[in-house]
Structure 1
């Protein structure tokens, strides 16, 4: 045995992978854990989605390898969804690439564009996978700040002061995870202009656009974005299908062809039943989103009460599946997180796992029934 790749030393095990082992052991030991940490929807998909999966699984011809690009009906369903939801017209056969979850896409995109030594702009705080994938590919993460008082506007002034000659990619994410900053048309326009000015590829990770938002938005709706931007989207949060691993990538046909070269060497296509279920989900009407919105609004109000009991502060105009809370002066997030877990058996996420600017924050998930959140309030 001659040892492992040096690349493995550049990343840590994903926080939830390690922490949930501890939490699950506490549950096995009889502790009544309430999990307000991870953002995995606890609700079922629509019945039409389940039926589509079942009906396909009953077909003996449905279990073979599938196309790396997904069946044409799935790409058409994604295109129709983008036209209805965002006012964006995409060519199903050229500008849409279905993925086995958008997390997969983060790796495939990065492998397509990055060489060792290239630089990647990553929001701080932000999704840890952007950083870990960048490190695995021996590129360099370059972190930028967001102004939460301006809907999560990047600190363009600070970014522009640095040398950007080696920056190839920029990750953006609105509504932003973990803070819930909604972004705006003006911010997306600034980002497109910035990317053009510096010849940077914008990568918009967009899984939360239908969760507690005023108006779902795609960066591809911005004039000129089709030249510089790609967008990841996912059915995990919007349609309660995280374990199905169905996502998509949209944007320039020539870029998607390059990414497909990587993807086709990494997987063998998505099970047909999952694709048929995804088509059913993408065709759901307006009432699906209205019902989901009402449910999450009710849960969020209860989480706000929980945060109030802990003297935490938060923004009420945030979107997405989480409540991002600042800890009071004189306390640390780590103290509160540990106290909640080991004394009250409530699991929440420390903000520091999302970057240095999350150090004094805690994130609560809305993926828990109201009676469980009420129980957490009682324990406090």
Structure 2
């Protein structure tokens, strides 16, 4: 049978990690025992009280029905309280909060809600590959904007003002930035909000890393007038160790939430209620939880710094988030070359920066989602 895939899949390749994991699996079958420091999948469990809520609620007989597309009021209230406590942002839980089945789906929902064929979206280079995939799948066109080390990994607003923005409907931003670990300031968010207002561009801020190794979590919604022009995605995957639970949120003005809900409600139903109630518990945890989590990540980061020193890579110690981004030595053509050398010679996988865009070609990224003993073994292998 000659069954062709849709045109929307043209130019959409298999996700790099999906392909690389298959290669690593084959190497493991050959007895290589590869240490994977590539993917940022939290290896630590959620807080015991969060698991307890899930267990207790799931045992009840009346919690297994379909749930509201807008999520449980308990979860929406917890999300709004979370934004007030940690970001000093006032959010109406009834009208400005939309729980998501993971924030990754929110990226797709936003693109499908606002982009028509011919519409453009500004995509960071380097940046999370899903932004460009979602834009293309929605029928839009990607327009990259450069993030460079010499510009402190911030948008070059002068350069942006010089390009044709007439067809741009969305701008994707992500701070703390993945993969670079760059933290945002309120001043940067204010400049981005002003840029969005000036050009009638919806600013889409993806904010899943703000609590990891970061003493000053910040939301774009804390900037004056941000709700007029910005949507923010957030997630429990990283800071609550709930990646497999698939719990995220979209925060924004009532009109934007209603618009996205028109698409989302045709795609899925609400999350399992016990998961929502457990997520509400996770959002209520105090600073002690984050301090404990970051104490573990801090120890791991020291080992990753040592590993990068052995590889003669340069890195900024002010980075935040669950990865370390590092510039490769000039003796290598690009991060792919260094990554492959370490994989095949040392049986350690690290991510080449080029998968995040051409401006990442001279870099690599190492995940902190590996136990201390695993990182120590990786360091020994690379040093040998």
Give TM-score scaled by structure 2 length: 0.97
In structure 1, C-alpha distance between the alignment counterparts of 2:226 and 2:24, rounded to whole Å: 43
Answer yes or no: is the 8 Å Cα contact 1:148–1:181 preserved in 2: no
Encode CA deviations 1:159-216: one digit per residue, 9 max, x unaligned. 1101101000000111000000112111111101101110100001000000111300
In structure 1, C-alpha distance between the alignment counterparts of 2:107 and 2:254, rounded to whole Å: 17
Q: What's the CA shift for 1:64?
A: 1.4
Does structure 1 residue 361 correspond to structure 2 residue 363? yes
Q: What's the CA shift for 1:226?
A: 1.1
In structure 2, C-alpha distance between the alignment counterparts of 1:201 and 1:314, rounded to whole Å: 33
Answer yes or no: is the 8 Å Cα contact 2:123–2:132 preserved in 1: yes
Encode CA deviations 1:41-80: one digit per residue, 9 max, x unaligned. 1000000111111111111221111111111000000011
Identify the residue that residue 375 of structure 1 maps to in structure 2. 377
In structure 2, C-alpha distance between the alignment counterparts of 1:61 and 1:30, rounded to whole Å: 49
Identify the residue that residue 190 of structure 1 maps to in structure 2. 191
Identify the residue that residue 124 of structure 2 maps to in structure 1. 123
Q: What's the CA shift for 1:145?
A: 1.4
Identify the residue that residue 47 of structure 1 maps to in structure 2. 48
In structure 2, C-alpha distance between the alignment counterparts of 1:168 and 1:232, rounded to whole Å: 17
Helix, strand or coil: the match of 2:166?
coil
Answer yes or no: is the 8 Å Cα contact 2:148–2:359 preserved in 1: no
Does structure 1 residue 83 correspond to structure 2 residue 84? yes
Q: What's the CA shift for 1:28?
A: 3.8
Does structure 1 residue 321 correspond to structure 2 residue 328? no
Answer yes or no: is the 8 Å Cα contact 2:336–2:353 preserved in 1: no
Encode CA deviations 1:301-327: one digit per residue, 9 max, x unaligned. 110000000001111111111100111
Structure 2 residue runs of 5 or longer lacking an equivalent are none
Helix, strand or coil: the match of 1:154?
coil
Aligned residues: 380
Give TM-score scaled by structure 1 length: 0.98
In structure 1, C-alpha distance between the alignment counterparts of 2:227 and 2:362, rounded to whole Å: 37
Q: CA RMSD in A?
A: 1.1
In structure 2, C-alpha distance between the alignment counterparts of 1:133 and 1:240, rounded to whole Å: 25
Answer yes or no: is the 8 Å Cα contact 1:146–1:155 preserved in 2: yes
In structure 1, C-alpha distance between the alignment counterparts of 2:372 and 2:286, rounded to whole Å: 25
Structure 1 residue runs of 5 or longer lacking an equivalent are none
Does structure 1 residue 232 correspond to structure 2 residue 233? yes
Does structure 1 residue 286 correspond to structure 2 residue 287? yes
Encode CA deviations 1:282-313: one digit per residue, 9 max, x unaligned. 01111001111111111111100000000011
